[in-house]
Structure 1
């Protein structure tokens, strides 16, 4: 793991920064499909309230990434959600680090033998990240993009040792 990266629980003070991570409608759709552009603190706070383990990654002392679980079943699985990385921190290992942190939290706190992720077909970076970390496709379901067009939501899973 990158020695410059650290993680901690997200706090209310982080929200102003995190809402700026998605740079356009597509990026917001990829990380938080139910949100309305532009992401604001109210929308993110609502997501945090109904999710678990909202976590930030810090790079060089700055908030660089955010993720949480949108589903969790103790002893069964956790599902990763809202994964987003600050524009200035992209291509620096933040997303991989954060996925690995969330896998550890799933194992340690939820005794989860399985992590689930979902990724839209147009999110090449996400698909490459997850498959590179050992996630395998288990399903594809139809969803609608903000413009109403059909998109494929690729469902992936990874056993957690």
Structure 2
């Protein structure tokens, strides 16, 4: 699959809203949102964040991410990471996270890049360390159903 990335556009929002396939997946991507993800919820998040980016394959939007924190010469924190259901397991998330790492370094000269991953998100927990992220903290959070979940905080230092 030939992948590329670009800044997200308003026209991409309806497609991205279809990526989370249930309340749990939406919670992994965007804990404050309520399922189903609506264009209004996603647009509000995009307005408050930096570098909202999509991955395309053959002209189709396959992935999305942004930074919820972006400090010049400081920390960039990756958020809202999601991949289209039809594209999962095909390298899209790896490409997306690597593109966001490059953006953090190029646009913000980031010294550290952070990502958070819930304990039930096995794909994320396996991917991020492969890309150089290491856990540094675990926070207790509450899932939409009220159960306890662990949010694993990971970071990558300067390359």
For Structure 1 versus Structure 2, the TM-score category normalised by the shorter chain is over 0.9
Query: What is the root-mean-square deviation in Å for CA atoms of aligned residues?
Result: 0.8
The match for 1:144 is 142
User: Is the partner of 2:99 in helix, strand or coil?
Assistant: helix
State the shift of 1:113 in Å: 1.7
Q: What is the TM-score normalised by the length of structure 2? A: 0.98
Q: Which runs of 4+ in 1 moved over 2 A?
A: none
CA distance in 1: counterparts of 2:70 and 2:13, whole angstroms: 23
CA distance in 2: counterparts of 1:81 and 1:113, whole angstroms: 17
Q: How many residues align?
A: 159
Q: Per-residue CA shift, 1:78-136, capped at 9, x if unaligned?
A: 00000000011111110000000000000000010211000001111110010111110
The match for 1:84 is 82
Structure 1 runs not aligned, ≥5 long: none
State the shift of 1:160 in Å: 3.3
User: Is the partner of 1:112 in helix, strand or coil?
Assistant: coil
User: Is the partner of 2:31 in helix, strand or coil?
Assistant: coil
1:61 maps to 2:54:
no
The match for 1:94 is 92
State the shift of 1:147 in Å: 0.8
Written as runs of structure 1 = structure 2, the 5 A alignment for 1:1-150 is: 4-150=2-148
CA distance in 1: counterparts of 2:137 and 2:15, whole angstroms: 34
Structure 2 runs not aligned, ≥5 long: none
Q: What is the TM-score normalised by the length of structure 1? A: 0.97
